[in-house]
Structure 1
Amino acid sequence: MSTSAIAAPVDPGPSADRTGKPPPAAPAAPAAPAPPAPPQGVAPLLTELQKLYQQTEEATEAYNGTAAELKRRTAQAKRLGAALAAARTALSDSRDAAGRLAREQYRERSDFSGYARLLLAPDPEHLMDQEHLLRRAATWRATTVKRLATAEKRADALASESRKVLDRQRALTTRRGKQRDTVRARLGVVEAKLAKLSAAQLAELARLEQQGTAKAQSALAASGALSSVRPPSAAGGTAVRYAIEQLGKPYVWGAEGPDSFDCSGLTSRAWARAGLVIPRTSQEQWRQLRKVPLNALRPGDLVVYFPKATHVALYIGNGLVVQAPRPGTRVKVSPVASNPLLGAVRPDPGGAPLADYRGPRLPDGATEGSDTGYGSSSAPGQ
């Protein structure tokens, strides 16, 4: 009989008890907290906010254009109403005259009966007088009929035009409401983004934009665009003085003074004070007014910004403009390159420059304040 080998007992090791069973597992150490997500880069955020502000200004200027057209249509409707009332009075008078003519003819006072009586008249001289009166009567009758027809046509035409204008007013009112809602929505997007930023991020946004403005201003000066100082016309000088008097007043979209302004509200009101009515919106100012090169700028000219001409400021000389920058800001003096330049226009190209001109003194704090509006925005309330 063979013998079998006996296996040696296995050492359970330090992790097992004497029964050979492993001890209960120790609780796992808590996981380290995930590192916070890095904040969004400020430079891309600046680009995004600039785009949002530009879109908001586009919507604002569209609203302003509709409001200006609505104002014109309202004035037109008022003129048409007065003209229609006068036409209806004239029509009533013409109908009264036509009624008298019909009654006379009914009483046999026609041309034929009068002529027959003249044939029987014994006095030829008297006959000639009567013939003259008959001709005058015939002319009056023809004129009465023509005046009646003309009055009817004019009253009908004015009534039709008045209906069209009223329909246009209703359509413009609806469009203005939709544009107002668009502005509110876009400003709401800006406000929501700004509300999430820290004070440090807001400060960095302002620093980056000021840095960009300084760089653009230096490049513009180096090109020679701001090397010449030209005096304004008399009207341009008045516009400059008015604009400077508005420093510190708040930007409110759609406002054209006297207590608050948007960008084109300020420029149009300044030139109105100078005695010249110019278009209300920045796009129409760019489209309708005489364009001038940047190296020919003189105080009173309007500097227009962005590819769609959605922002405008008033040039005051020495490379500076007065502008109502954005919601959340106040009217201030800024470098001419504070926004991407499109070009410049002159409201009074025929105005002779003043022989002697000294620009108005800028008050303390004229250049202070943000060009950006970061930190708050004025939501539209109209």
Structure 2
Amino acid sequence: MNRRRRASAAITVVCALAVLASPALALRASAAPLPPPPPKKSLEQVRAEMNDLYRQAAVATDAYNLAEEKAREQSAEIVRVDRMLAEGRAKIEDLRNRAGAAARAQYRNGGLPDGARFVLTNDPQLFLDNAGRLQAGAKATTDLLADMTRTQAALDVYAREASDNWSRLEANRDRQDRAKKEINGKIDAARRLEATLAAEERERLRFLEELAQKQAQTRWLGTGVLTGPKAGATPEGARAVAFATAQIGKPYGWGDEGPSSFDCSGLTQSAWGVAGRPIPRTSQEQWRLLPRVDVRDMRPGDLIVYFADASHIGMYVGNGMMVHAPRPGRNVTLAGAGSMEILGVVRPA
């Protein structure tokens, strides 16, 4: 009997252990195998991805700069309209005072202006002497009322302009904010990507970047683009080149126009501003609005626009070289004019 009870207890223990073990066994059986880690990107892939991110940041920088320029224009326009409104209100106040004085004088004379009293006199000589004065007074009153009407209409126009300018200013500020977020996002993504590399890989990445630029420059020179006589810089172009090359070594700063840092179009705009030729703020606007010349005819001071979206720009300095502010993390530098994809050349002067 005892043996039977011991056997029954043993069976119970075995069954309990099986029940306890079964979830772990089931879990191990049902667990999917872990996916293999993603393949490590080659340095060429990293370089291409970083270049793409910085290009996207450059496009957003142009959008930011354009919105900033428009916001400055709208702010100046708001100041101008406010001044016109203030002048118009002062003029209206003066006209009202003059009209009020005339009305009070007429009231004191029993409803008749001074000239009318002279016209109604029985003295013929007095009538003749003052008839012209009455006519002049009537014209002055008519002119006064017309001036008040015109001034009030102008005030209404200025008020509408002020409202429109505020709306445009706010829209440009919204565009600036959106572009700023996009710029920072793209630059942060590029920096995170670069941060995954070891120090030796980062050095190798920079070497590959320089190698690609040298190869592009060699291919460009091989087209014979620099053969034949070339014109020298104009006095204005020489001043622009002198300014731009003096900035070599200063860091890139998106949205910056100097004096301590520049983005690509900020450098070219500042250089030509010093040379006495104001030009648009962004690389895309410089490409769109400035006169174009054939790349074979470019001379020092001309601006070389890069990539199909005109997202980068540099200044030609001669001998196949240009000066530019490359991208975040780089300084203003000399580079081969053909080291990137050329869209075209524009000439500020």
Instruction: Judge which range, 320-329 or 226-235, deviates more.
Output: 226-235
- Contact 1:230/1:298 (8 A) holds in 2: yes
Describe the shift of the 1:38–1:162 C-alpha distance in structure 2 as closer, same or farther (beyond 3 A). Answer: closer
| Alignment-derived partner of residue 181 in structure 1 | 181
State the secondary structure of the residue aligned to 1:344: strand
| Alignment-derived partner of residue 16 in structure 2 | none
- Contact 1:257/1:269 (8 A) holds in 2: yes
State the secondary structure of the residue aligned to 2:185: helix
State the secondary structure of the residue aligned to 1:329: coil
- Contact 1:98/1:148 (8 A) holds in 2: no
| Alignment-derived partner of residue 351 in structure 1 | none
- In 2: Cα distance, 1:240 partner to 1:302 partner: 10
The one-letter amino acid of 1:142's match is T
State the secondary structure of the residue aligned to 1:82: helix
- In 1: Cα distance, 2:263 partner to 2:332 partner: 9
Q: Within 5 Å, which residues of 2 pair with 1:34-183?
A: 39-108=40-109, 114-115=115-116, 117-124=118-125, 126-183=126-183
The one-letter amino acid of 1:325's match is P
Q: CA deviation at 1:110?
A: 6.1
State the secondary structure of the residue aligned to 2:226: coil
Q: Within 5 Å, which residues of 2 pair with 1:259-274?
A: 259-274=260-275
- In 2: Cα distance, 1:225 partner to 1:105 partner: 86
The one-letter amino acid of 1:118's match is V
**How high is the TM-score relative to the length of structure 2?**
0.85
- In 2: Cα distance, 1:200 partner to 1:100 partner: 88
- In 1: Cα distance, 2:221 partner to 2:301 partner: 19
Describe the shift of the 1:263–1:109 C-alpha distance in structure 2 as closer, same or farther (beyond 3 A). Answer: farther
- Contact 1:213/1:338 (8 A) holds in 2: yes
Q: CA deviation at 1:165?
A: 1.1
Q: CA deviation at 1:129?
A: 2.0
- In 1: Cα distance, 2:101 partner to 2:110 partner: 11
- Contact 2:105/2:113 (8 A) holds in 1: no
- Contact 1:307/1:342 (8 A) holds in 2: yes
| Alignment-derived partner of residue 19 in structure 2 | none
**How high is the TM-score relative to the length of structure 1?**
0.78
- Contact 2:237/2:275 (8 A) holds in 1: yes
Describe the shift of the 1:100–1:37 C-alpha distance in structure 2 as closer, same or farther (beyond 3 A). Answer: closer
State the secondary structure of the residue aligned to 1:298: coil
Q: CA deviation at 1:263?
A: 0.5
% identical equivalent positions: 36
Q: CA deviation at 1:116?
A: 6.5
Q: How far does the alpha carbon of each residue in 1:138-196 deviate from its partner, in whole angstroms, 9 at most, with x for none?
A: 11100110111111111221122112212222222222112111111111110110000
The one-letter amino acid of 2:49's match is E
- In 2: Cα distance, 1:73 partner to 1:327 partner: 29
Q: Which runs of 5+ in 2 are unaligned?
A: 1-35
The one-letter amino acid of 2:46's match is L
The one-letter amino acid of 1:101's match is A
- Contact 2:215/2:339 (8 A) holds in 1: no
- Contact 2:257/2:263 (8 A) holds in 1: yes
| Alignment-derived partner of residue 18 in structure 2 | none
| Alignment-derived partner of residue 197 in structure 1 | 197
Q: Within the alignment, does 1:340 sit opposite 2:348 as a pair?
A: no
- In 1: Cα distance, 2:311 partner to 2:133 partner: 71
| Alignment-derived partner of residue 323 in structure 1 | 324
